[in-house]
Amino acid sequence: MPGFDSPAAAAVVLDKGGLDGLIAGLGAGGFRVIGPTVSGDAVVYDDITSVKDLPAGWGDEQQGGRYRLVKRQDGALFGYTAGAQGWKRHLYPPRQTLFTARRKDKGYEVLPPPPAPPPMAFIGVRACELAAMAVHDRVFGDKTAPEPGYQRRRAAAFVVAVECGQAGGTCFCASMGTGPEVTAGFDIKLVELPARGVFVATAGSSAGADMLARLKVAAATEADKAEAARRVAGARPAKIMDTAQARGLQAKAEHSRWDEVAKRCLTCGNCTMVCPTCFCSSVEDSTDLKGETSERTRTWDSCFSIDFSYIHGGAVRTQARSRYRQWITHKLSAWHDQFGGSGCVGCGRCITWCPVGIDITEEVAAIAASDQGR
């Protein structure tokens, strides 16, 4: 990851009080601290001020079209797998004002933008989510047209990663090469040892090291490190996506499976909303009643909507098969050509949050299994 220097990372151990100190310290340092918290029967990433806001003792149960919070016996703070939505909503919010303008003479003048919001600190970022951020760094980091809002938020963000202690029912990070181990892209990495109520922490940047240095920590023993390694070893998901098959989707544009999946797909776009790498957006204009002031707003959009492909006269992709195909072939296949890697990080959210439980890994396998087509 560019930007993250690698100081000699000596692992330390901190307890829940230490973690609380980290959250408070980040808050005091001017960060808006965002972490997992229970809201609406799901783990969501929202503002937190102390460890009390974290989902203590909550785990989750995920499968195609199903998400349930379940109580854990060990009181783990990070005992869930992936939250319902990723960090995208903070790094690239669903609604962003591009500018506000006021009518002036025969034209308009752009009003000065509001002051930039404070930098954010993210607590509990998973390996797949770090991979998703790295994907967006490329998507929004085009040499000629980098997206300045994303760049600013991303560059200023302080990242506290937490390695997974178990796999969720829909995860497949290992086959995508994105997890479960946290290897790069963090300021501080935590491994929770729930039985002891402590965390093994490693700095991934000088900012992270500075932060850890201010906390009450103990040096990690070899036994602590071994226990941390065992935790992540137990988090390898069973579900697998064949990446070579996935990359080959583009050559299967006329496969009959597209018709099959279209019979189930509701084209609701849930998968694109929860996907941590989907980045499509639209722009809308809203004007006050007098027509004096107008605001341009960028909103998340989805390739599953008909209007998405509208050119004068009609939409290019009218059928569900075309829109599902567009989504999955772009993410798994074309993304390699456009951004030098897959657009899928294996978080499994699109499977969990699909109302009819369409499983992206099953679709890839089915399409790869035959050449049946039109």
Partner 1 sequence: MNAHARNPAPADPMMPHPFRIERVRRELSDTFTMEMVPQSGGGFRFRPGQFNMLYVFGVGEIPISISGDPGDGAVLVHTTRAVGAVSQALDNLKAGDIVGVRGPFGSYWPVEQAFGHDLVFVAGGVGLAPLRPAIYQAMANRERFGKVVVLYGARTPADILFRKELEKWRGRFDMNVMVTVDRVAGKWNSDVGVVTNLVAKGGFDPLHATAFVCGPEVMMRYVALALEKRGVALSSVWLSMERNMKCGCGLCGHCQWGSDFVCKDGPVFRYDQIADRLSVREL
Which positions touch partner 1 (CB under 8 A)? 2-5, 98-99, 101, 103, 105-108, 110, 119, 139-140, 142, 144-149, 151-152, 154-158, 187, 205, 207, 250, 253-254, 279-285, 287, 291, 294, 296, 298, 301, 303, 308-313, 316-319, 321-322, 326, 330, 333-334, 337-338
The total number of residues shown for the chain amounts to 374
DSSP string across 161-172: EE--SS--TT--
Q: Minimum Å distance from CB 191 to partner 1?
A: 22
Nearer to partner 1, 136 or 239 (CB): 136
Nearer to partner 1, 145 or 238 (CB): 145
Nearer to partner 1, 47 or 284 (CB): 284
Residue 354: both structure tokens together: 């699909």
Cα separation, 20 vs 268, in Å, equals 39
Radius of gyration for the alpha carbons in the chain, expressed in angstroms and rounded:
22
Nearer to partner 1, 65 or 141 (CB): 141
Helices vs. strands in the chain: H and E counts, helices first: 14, 16
Cα separation, 247 vs 251, in Å, equals 9
Which run of H or of E encompasses 83?
A: none
Contact status, residue 164 vs residue 192, Cβ threshold 8 Å: no
Nearest to 35 by CA among 214, 220, 99, 43: 43
Cα separation, 303 vs 368, in Å, equals 23
201 pairs with which residues across the strands?
12, 190
Nearer to partner 1, 44 or 280 (CB): 280
Cα separation, 322 vs 317, in Å, equals 6
Q: Minimum Å distance from CB 179 to partner 1?
A: 21
DSSP string across 108-128: EEEPPPPPPPPPEEEEEE-HH
Q: Minimum Å distance from CB 54 to partner 1?
A: 24
Nearer to partner 1, 166 or 322 (CB): 322
Contact status, residue 192 vs residue 231, Cβ threshold 8 Å: yes
Q: In which order are the strands placed within the sheet that holds 188-193?
A: 42-47, 32-39, 120-125, 158-162, 188-193, 198-203, 12-15, 218-219
Q: Minimum Å distance from CB 62 to partner 1?
A: 27
Q: Minimum Å distance from CB 3 to partner 1?
A: 3
Q: Minimum Å distance from CB 29 to partner 1?
A: 10
Q: Minimum Å distance from CB 85 to partner 1?
A: 18
Residue 326: both structure tokens together: 């567009």
Nearer to partner 1, 63 or 294 (CB): 294
Nearer to partner 1, 229 or 262 (CB): 262
Q: Minimum Å distance from CB 109 to partner 1?
A: 8
